[in-house]
Amino acid sequence: MSAPRDTAAPSTGTHAAPSSGRPADGHEWARRYARRLIATDLLAVAWAVIGTQLLWFGFERAELATREEQRDMSIDYTSISIVLIAAWMAVLAMFGTRDPRIVGTGSIEYKRIADAAFRLFGIVAIIAFLFQLDLARGYILIGFPLGLIALLASRWIWRQWLIAERAHGRYTARAVIVGTPRSATALAAELASKPEAGFRVVGACLLGAADTRSAPWDPPLPTGAGLESLEKLLESTDADTVVVTSTDELPADRMRELSWSLEPGRHHLVVAPNLADIAGPRIHMRPVAGLPLMHIEMPRYEGAQRFSKKAFDFVGALVIVASLSPLLAAIAIVVKLSSPGPVLYRQERIGRDGEAFPMFKFRSMKVDADSELERLLREQGTGDTPLFKVRDDPRVTKVGRVLRRYSLDELPQLFNVLRGEMSLVGPRPQREAEVALYDAAAARRLNVLPGLTGLWQVSGRSNLSWEQAIRLDLYYVENWSMTGDLVILWRTLRAVVRSEGAF
């Protein structure tokens, strides 16, 4: 492989020795993983299709009903099941459901599986109509949903296994980052914090810096200065992926030379644009005059989307309140008997567009606890941060600690949702004093209704810093979707059961 020309200083970094026993093709793991997915996909589809046939027709031979002129043509459902299984496996392959770039993280893998199932269902319906085949409706209407559920369940199980493997550095793409010290270290830290994404940074090719030791790598990484060091880095680290993060340092002709220098089938080129916290559905690629233009849709909080969210919130809160009414009554009795004071704690919080509203909680502290907050925050050293949380809070009652551990004190906010003041999912509402400390970015939290739960609650809860929490909240505000809300609600249930990060 010939490296592209560069005028930067020669490599000054330390290079690691090639790892022993690693195959020449770094993506061998993808083929091994895909073979396992093929096996379980086949089991899931066969179980659904053959199981539906046995459920609908029993063990007796059943033939397909055809037109009068086709009576001499005998087609039994066993043959149809075999063809259907083969066709289902084919569309799963055609839709790229085992693509190593989508497995292990995100929703694209699941969307492609669902899309393949719906397309196959449509093809079967069209064929049955054109050839006037009287397929049993139950056979089709049970088999397809059952197969889709089995496929999604098996892929979810595999994903949990893959995430665990990637946390130990296995089943990942070995990546060398190309960029300035600042952009390269930022991207390396981001990828290290999300091992489930499947990138393991094994080296860095730094641009615009003669001294590669100036980059604060933790842990230390093999580095090189200038593109001329890239070839040696790829060989010494057995890397199979090049991630470019500073396109300003690489004009179009240099990027083209870089792509030509990589070995087809062995190396992959990934470009990380200077965009942060923008979800895939908002990004659209459009080639114009040989340039890959990226269109970014602006977030909108009106029209059908707002109506659907409000309807979902109202119906969901109503169902939850009706289901948990015995629990709500029991908690109210326990709070009343445990310590003097009211059952409910009411506090003014700031909602959408800066409007104040009374937020309800089961009382978990002693009476007049708010009068001690300023002193406790000052002693803790967090009075100037818009996240007024006190660790080992002495104001919390014994019953309150249990309620807070499992977030049961938040349940009365379901009535705030019914009143239209809150949503089931959204940024958590904060006090007026906290909102007063917002900068321009944090103020965007107020563009949507505050939520009973939110993205940062299911990503670490109170263990997160304010900077981490605000970044997650802004990601939610900018990329809201109904599917995302359902995922957050499911993750909330898991986080509450595990009682992680609550205080």
Q: Could you count the other beta carbons within 10 Å of the beta carbon of residue 417?
A: 23
Residue 464 lies in a domain: yes
CB contact at 8 A, 239 and 174: yes
283 φ, ψ to 5°? -105, 130
Which residues neighbour 455 within 8 Å (Cβ) at sequence distance 6 or greater? 472, 473, 475, 476, 488
Q: Do 360 and 281 share a domain, yes or no?
A: no
Residue 503 lies in a domain: no
* Alpha helices (runs of H) in 238-359, residue ranges in sequence order: 252-261, 304-338
221 φ, ψ to 5°? -120, 150
Residue 378 lies in a domain: yes
Residue 10 lies in a domain: no
Q: Which of 448, 473, 108 is nearest to 309 (CA)?
A: 448
Q: Do 75 and 152 share a domain, yes or no?
A: yes
Looking at residue 482, what is its pLDDT?
A: 83
Looking at 138, 166, 194, which one is the last position of a domain? 166
CB contact at 8 A, 479 and 279: yes
Q: Do 346 and 449 share a domain, yes or no?
A: yes
- The H-or-E segment that residue 356 falls in is strand 356-362
What is the per-residue DSSP string for 363-384? Answer: --B-TTGGGGHHHHHHHHT-TT
CB contact at 8 A, 81 and 114: no
Q: Do 449 and 493 share a domain, yes or no?
A: yes
């790598």: which residue's tokens?
217
Residue 456 lies in a domain: yes
């400390």: which residue's tokens?
437
Looking at residue 96, what is its pLDDT?
A: 92
Burial of 126 (0-12, 13-18, 19+ CB in 10 A): exposed
Between the CA of residue 54 and those of 48, 77, 79, 141, 148, what are the distances in Å? 10, 10, 13, 14, 18
| Integer Cα distance of 423 and 414 in angstroms | 9
Q: Do 272 and 400 share a domain, yes or no?
A: no
State pLDDT tens for residues 438-458.
Answer: 888 888 889 889 999 988 878
Between the CA of residue 238 and those of 126, 227, 435, what are the distances in Å? 49, 17, 49
Q: Could you count the other beta carbons within 10 Å of the beta carbon of residue 386?
A: 19
Residue 3 lies in a domain: no
Q: Which amino acid is located at 199 in the chain?
A: F
Residue 122: both structure tokens together: 């449509």
Residue 235: both structure tokens together: 């060989």
Q: Do 341 and 485 share a domain, yes or no?
A: yes
Going through 144-237 in order, the beta strands assigned E by DSSP cover: 173-179, 199-206, 223-225
Q: What is the CA radius of gyration of the chain?
A: 28
Looking at 296, 322, 356, which one is the last position of a domain? 296
| Residue 424, domain extent | 304-498
Q: Could you count the other beta carbons within 10 Å of the beta carbon of residue 258?
A: 20
- Total domain count, the chain: 3
Helix (H, G, I), strand (E, B) or coil at 403: helix
Q: Do 98 and 160 share a domain, yes or no?
A: yes
Q: Do 178 and 156 share a domain, yes or no?
A: no
Residue ranges for the chain with pLDDT beneath 70: 1-27, 58-75, 209-219, 246-248, 274-282, 284-286, 288-291, 295-301, 370, 372, 374, 377-392, 460-463, 498-503
| Integer Cα distance of 224 and 176 in angstroms | 10
């965009």: which residue's tokens?
275
Residue 373 lies in a domain: yes
CB contact at 8 A, 28 and 281: no
Residues in the chain: 503
| Integer Cα distance of 133 and 139 in angstroms | 13
CB contact at 8 A, 472 and 455: yes
Q: Do 103 and 224 share a domain, yes or no?
A: no
Q: What is the pTM of this model?
A: 0.66
Q: Which of 95, 118, 119 is nearest to 108 (CA)?
A: 95
Q: Do 99 and 181 share a domain, yes or no?
A: no
Residue 126 lies in a domain: yes
Q: Do 127 and 179 share a domain, yes or no?
A: no
């842990």: which residue's tokens?
219
Looking at residue 14, what is its pLDDT?
A: 39
Looking at residue 217, what is its pLDDT?
A: 65
Q: Do 359 and 246 share a domain, yes or no?
A: no
Looking at 122, 150, 166, which one is the last position of a domain? 166
